Amino acid sequence: MSGAVIVGAGHAGVQAAASLRQAGYQEPIRLIGDEDCAPYHRPPLSKAMLAGEKRPEQIALRGPDYFDRNGIELMPGVRACALDPASRTLRLADGTLSYDKAVIATGAGARMLAGFEYDNVFTLRTMQDALSLQDALTPGAKLVVVGGGFIGLEVAATARKLGLAVDVVEMQDRLLARAIPEALSDYICKRHRAEGVRIHLGAQINRIAAEGGRIASVALSNGASLAADLVLVGVGNAPEIRLAAEAGAGTALGGLLVDGAMRTTLPDVYAIGDCTAFDLPVAGSRVRLESVQNAVDQGRAVAAQIAGQGGSYDPVPWFWSDQFDMKLQMAGLSVPGSGFTLRGSVESGSFSLIETLGDRLVAVYSVNAVADHMASRRLIGEPGSFDRIAASDPDTPLKACLAAPADRRGPVSAIAGAGP
């Protein structure tokens, strides 16, 4: 038997391999990674790893003997070149592997902007990216971050902690515009500015001044000129779908289209993690998610399918980000037409924004409110009527707000930008 071949040794691929063995799968498992290092946790790359607080071996996904002990053949530094579903083979740069089941877990790669090919321009997606950027983050240096998304803001916070001067350039009129409500965007922007990060909203880089192969300064569309010792481009990721797409796999939203069993349109070829697009019942739409939670949960789901245990992937998405003293945690996905209710105190730095559509709980966005986050992950998607008025009282457990009496009413706090 040829067993399972997993292409991609990130969170999704490693979880799929581990869960296959836990499910009693006895066939060979080969885990192929294109990076020449052991699999590792990605979230620390922009925080503890970048700050020098953790070494590469301290963020390993599994212990040094895990793969050998569990009969998983780890193949680091190997590039998968072509997939042939007809012959069930995977062509590598230096050979060919046969498979019974193939799992594509290739994730996504950082986007680079055209015209930014200079020696002091960085992206952050891999361990090597983090090590290279870490060497450049010297106290007193001037960092320009292009993009006010999660990676850009996490790096900005880490760089300020290390003593750099930081400018963040965001073309939208607010930070994290695609991910969080406007009121929370405003709060995060104020916190960054309070820490000395200069935020330029509604601005783009119009002109680059370079010297000796390095960017020296950038001119913005708002007329500002920013000196730059180094530049981080944090404008999102591009799904790595080439391997399966070239073999004829269906695509959607820029990712590989999979069903609830993680199957692509190719026979015996599955896909998991950041490179996938799938129908999400709790959101009522097709989505592509970039999160550790989604990668890990899809890794478990595909293992259950291959091991013959069945099931269908129907998660409540959740995400997190650490910036300065803010632990931002999100559960669920926003939907058009919904409203927001404040729970807790903005001034205290611990609160949640509760998103509801009618009497349905849609999403919860929490800042330093871990209990709210954990409860929301259990409640979103559950049947029953959610009482947002009761939820505005932080002394009322969120679980008590599901199917609460309709006549329970009380004062509702307000936050700038939050709707009813």
In this structure, the number of other CB atoms found within 10 A of the CB of residue 10 comes to 25
State residue 303 phi and psi, 5-degree precision.
Answer: -65, -40
Place 403 in a pLDDT band, splitting at 50, 70 and 90. confident
Mean pLDDT, the chain, rounded, equals: 94
Which of 187, 212, 233 is a domain's end point?
A: 233
For residues 153 and 208, state if they share a domain. Answer: yes
CA distance 193 to 353: 21
- Asked if the structure places residue 31 within a domain, the reply is yes
Whether residues 198 and 102 share a domain: the answer is no
Residue 408 lies in a domain: no
Domain that holds residue 153: 112-233
Mean pLDDT value across residues 405-412: 43
Q: Show contacts of 59-64: CB within 8 Å, 24+ apart.
A: 61/11, 61/14, 62/14, 62/18, 62/38, 64/38
Q: Does pLDDT of 408 surpass 70?
A: no
Shared domain check, 344 and 285: no
Shared-domain flag, residues 140 and 207: yes
- pLDDT tier, 299 (very low <50, low <70, confident <90, very high otherwise): very high
Q: What is the DSSP string of 65-88?
A: THHHHTTEEEETT--EEEEETTTT
Residue 315 included in any domain: no
Q: Do 116 and 161 belong to one domain?
A: yes
62, 66, 68, 70: CA torsion to nearest 10: -120
Note the pTM of the prediction, 2 decimals: 0.93
CATH number (domain holding residue 150)? 3.50.50.60
- The answer on pLDDT for 261 being more than 80 is yes
CATH number, residue 343: 3.30.390.30
pLDDT digits (tens, 9 = 90+) for 104-162: 999 999 999 999 999 999 999 999 999 999 999 999 999 999 999 999 999 999 999 99
Contact 167, 299 (CB under 8 A): no
Do residues 85 and 122 share a domain? no
Confidence of residue 240 (pLDDT cuts 50, 70, 90): very high
Q: Both 127 and 145 in a single domain?
A: yes
- Assign 218 to helix, strand or coil: strand
Q: Look at residues 185, 203, 233 and tell me which one is the last residue of a structural domain.
A: 233
Weakest-pLDDT range from 170-179, 310-319, 402-411: 402-411
Among 182, 214, 233, residue at a domain's last position: 233
pLDDT above 80 (res 231)? yes
351 and 270 within one domain: no
237-334-150 Cα angle (round to 5): 35
Domain count, the chain: 3
Q: Please report how many Cα atoms fall inside a 13 Å half-sphere around the Cα of residue 244, on the Cβ side.
A: 33
Please check whether residues 16 and 98 belong to one and the same domain. yes
The answer to whether residues 264 and 206 belong to one domain is: no
Whether 411 is in a domain gets the answer no
Residue 183 sits in the same domain as residue 296: no
Instruction: Give yes or no: residues 218 and 121 share one domain.
Output: yes
In this structure, is residue 409 part of a structural domain?
no
